[in-house]
Structure 1
Amino acid sequence: MTTLRPEQTPSWRLPDPAPYLHGPGPEPAPEPPPPAGSTRYGTGRVAQPLPPEDDATMSLRRVEPPPPVVTGGRAERRRAAQRAARARKDSIGVVVSRLTGELFITLGVVMLLFVAYQLWWTNVIAQRQAGGAAKDLQHSWDRGEGADRDAGAFSPGQGFAIVYIPALDVKAPIAQGIGKHKVLDRGMVGHYAEGPLKSAMPWDKQGNFALAGHRNTHGEPFRYVNRLKPGDKIVVETQSAFYTYEMTSRLDQTPPANVRVIDPVPAGSGFTGPGRYITLTTCTPEFTSTYRMIVWGKMVDERPRSKGKPDALVN
């Protein structure tokens, strides 16, 4: 038996075509109408159903879906789920690539946070600390506390003066020593006052008042000292007086080991004899500590604090 076979000829037959092949014959008499109450198929009878179709026709009309596959019990379903889960797992290469990418993203975020901390947040903290130290120092002077003393009379990290650079809008406290954590990282300017680097104080009758400050991060008070021009003023305020210096020259780059730049008569400054000088030192190039930039000046005015601010801080 085949399922793609055309339907077989039914059991009924067409009329015999022979009479029509020999020309028209006498027309058959019309059938009499069925009596009342009868049907086409007989009096008092209803239409009978068609005879049943053979197996070939039935197979075309009634194709049943295949029965569902009978699966095993709970253990078999669990094993099948485990096999499917293993099939879905990524290969070792994919896992390693994904972990490597996530690691690089994490490192990038950490580096960005570190840069933001170094370039921005350290300045915020250091400037706040330096501003508070300057106010405390001025309040102590107003109360008559403290006095001008020799360089070795102040303890490391102790503030004793304030430096102003009007052309750069800088105001920063000056503390004893050049310690990184106690002085420089707190936004203060450090005074070279220890060992072979010991330098003079502003009130000394001659000598070189040498200072150090950060150029980048941690308050960066000396960020733009490279912009100073000859004639720009640098003012140092102490408990008793204002000392005004005038910038004279600059050394753009020198090794850190060149300590002669803070000698009483600093080498390379152009000064030829003893005097009352000031030296500013900072790192260069920016964001590195490879070399040092040096700025020199000479004192042009000394004014008692009781007489008010000098012209450089008023104009």
Structure 2
Amino acid sequence: MTALRPEGTYGSDPHSGDPYDPYAEPGAFEAAVGRLADPLNDPLPGREQTPPEPYPGGYPEAYPPYREPRRYDAYPTGAPTPADPYAPGVHAPGAHVTEAAPAPEPAVAPEPAPAPAPDPVPVPVPDDETMLLRRAEEPLPARPEPVRPPDGGRAARRRARQGRQGRRAQQGRRARRAQRESPMVIASRVVGELFITLGVVMLLFVSYQLWWTNVIADRQAGDEAKKLEQQWEDKGGDRDPGVFSPGQGFAIMHIPRLDVKVPIAEGVDENGVLDRGMVGHYAEEPLKTAMPWDKTGNFAVAGHRNTHGEPFRYINKLDPGDPIVVETRDTYYIYEMTSRLDSTLPSNVGVIDPVPAESGFTEPGRYITLTTCTPEFTSKYRLIVWGKMVEERPRSEGKPDALVR
């Protein structure tokens, strides 16, 4: 609805008292409507707009400050500035409206200043935020104290203490069960420890076989060689025609090419002869062979290629013509290597015959045969080396050239 118009007699001017018709002049109504910012609220032409009452306590921040009403800068030429800028005929219809400085007021008699009105008491406006903060600051209601059961006396305290101790004991049992290892874990640990122990034992055994047995055998063979040399120096005289007992040393073999000096004992027993680092003579039937001082025959000996002194380890490196010397109490028997059989079966006993078939010898003579295992670190086959005697030298004439070089 349109706002109520100011009360008054229709056709009269409230300021001058003259009869007044706001729409008498032609075009006045259209000009008034064109100047309206809001046709429902702006006053009619010539009506003074009363400024609003000031807000008690000042304008809130949400309201803009009060501004003076706009003045019209288009007046008829030579017309005096009217006291009422909204009087009819003051401005031409459709004149441009701008902000202008207020026109000077006509001189009037000063009126007595009204008594100052008392300052209005500001009334705070509650808002939701303030209410929320206020509600948040309100203290919470106190929680009721827990009701403690009545004390049952020493018996009740004893039962409570026993219950706590029982719970602790149960927790301890659970912890011990959690720490206890399962049977599978224990079994796997035991098996692992057994494998480790077995590996250590095997490593020690291999070290004993490949290294420590050589140390012991070398020591025993050296002691036996010194014993023979000492006996030869003490007794002297002619060669002993007697028969040697098994395991008894009677000669020393020299292989200068391989830097080998090893005693020769009677028999090829493994524990009594070969494992002690000595070379054994085939002296028992059906493998009995000749002695070095026999006029004809094959002097055959055996020795380890690996472990236990390994005196024949490198006999595969001998070349034809390399000397092999057998030293007895009164004579040096010098042989020269002639041929070699790199591999043959252990059952091939013909290699130690008086005239070996595969040696290249065709008639009886004074021969020597060296036998050992092959390949290295196994005993599957036999390696054979043959030689032929080339010189017999008495000890009184000194050492042969093969031992002096």
**TM > 0.5:** yes
Could you tell me which of 280, 295, 302 is aligned with 1:212? 302
User: Which one-letter code corresponds to 2:270 in the other structure?
Assistant: K
User: Which one-letter code corresponds to 2:323 in the other structure?
Assistant: K
1:139 deviates by 0.8
Query: 1:193 is paired with a residue of what secondary structure?
Result: coil
1:99 to 2:136 alignment: no
1:126 to 2:163 alignment: no
Determine which structure has greater relative contact order: mean sequence separation of CA pairs < 8 Å that are 6+ residues apart, divided by chain length: 1
Aligned length: 264
For residues 197 and 213 of structure 2, the distance between their equivalents in structure 1, rounded to whole angstroms, comes to 23
Are the structure 2 counterparts of residues 25 and 123 from structure 1 closer, same or farther at C-alpha, using a change threshold of 3 Å? farther
Could you tell me which of 156, 160, 173 is aligned with 2:250? 160
Runs of at least 4 residues off by over 4 Å: 21-28, 73-76
Percent identity of paired positions between Structure 1 and Structure 2: 67
Superimposed CA distance per residue, residues 155-186 of structure 1 (whole angstroms, 9 cap, x where no aligned partner): 00000000000000000000000000110000
Are the structure 2 counterparts of residues 143 and 80 from structure 1 closer, same or farther at C-alpha, using a change threshold of 3 Å? same
For residues 167 and 280 of structure 2, the distance between their equivalents in structure 1, rounded to whole angstroms, comes to 79
Superimposed CA distance per residue, residues 268-309 of structure 1 (whole angstroms, 9 cap, x where no aligned partner): 100000100000000011111111110000000110011111
Superimposed CA distance per residue, residues 97-129 of structure 1 (whole angstroms, 9 cap, x where no aligned partner): 222222211111111111100000000000000
Q: Is the 8 A contact 1:261 1:294 kept in 2?
A: yes
Query: 1:196 is paired with a residue of what secondary structure?
Result: coil
User: Which one-letter code corresponds to 2:232 in the other structure?
Assistant: W
1:284 to 2:374 alignment: yes
Q: Structure 1-normalised TM-score?
A: 0.78
Query: 1:277 is paired with a residue of what secondary structure?
Result: strand
1:84 to 2:121 alignment: no
User: Which one-letter code corresponds to 1:112 in the other structure?
Assistant: L
Look up the match of 1:20: 57
1:92 deviates by 2.3
1:256 to 2:293 alignment: no
User: Which one-letter code corresponds to 1:72 in the other structure?
Assistant: G
Q: Is the 8 A contact 2:56 2:120 kept in 1?
A: no
1:117 to 2:154 alignment: no
1:299 to 2:336 alignment: no
- Which structure's CA Rg is the greater one? 2
For residues 292 and 148 of structure 1, the distance between their equivalents in structure 2, rounded to whole angstroms, comes to 33
User: Which one-letter code corresponds to 1:97 in the other structure?
Assistant: S
Query: 2:235 is paired with a residue of what secondary structure?
Result: coil
Look up the match of 1:237: 327
Q: Which has the higher strand share?
A: 1
Q: Is the 8 A contact 2:374 2:383 kept in 1?
A: yes
Unpaired segments ≥5 residues, structure 2: 1-54, 61-116, 122-137, 144-159
For residues 272 and 140 of structure 2, the distance between their equivalents in structure 1, rounded to whole angstroms, comes to 105
Tell me how large the CA RMSD over aligned residues is. Answer: 2.5
Query: 2:247 is paired with a residue of what secondary structure?
Result: coil
After superposition, residues 264-279 of structure 1 pair within 5 angstroms as 264-279=354-369
Query: 1:101 is paired with a residue of what secondary structure?
Result: helix
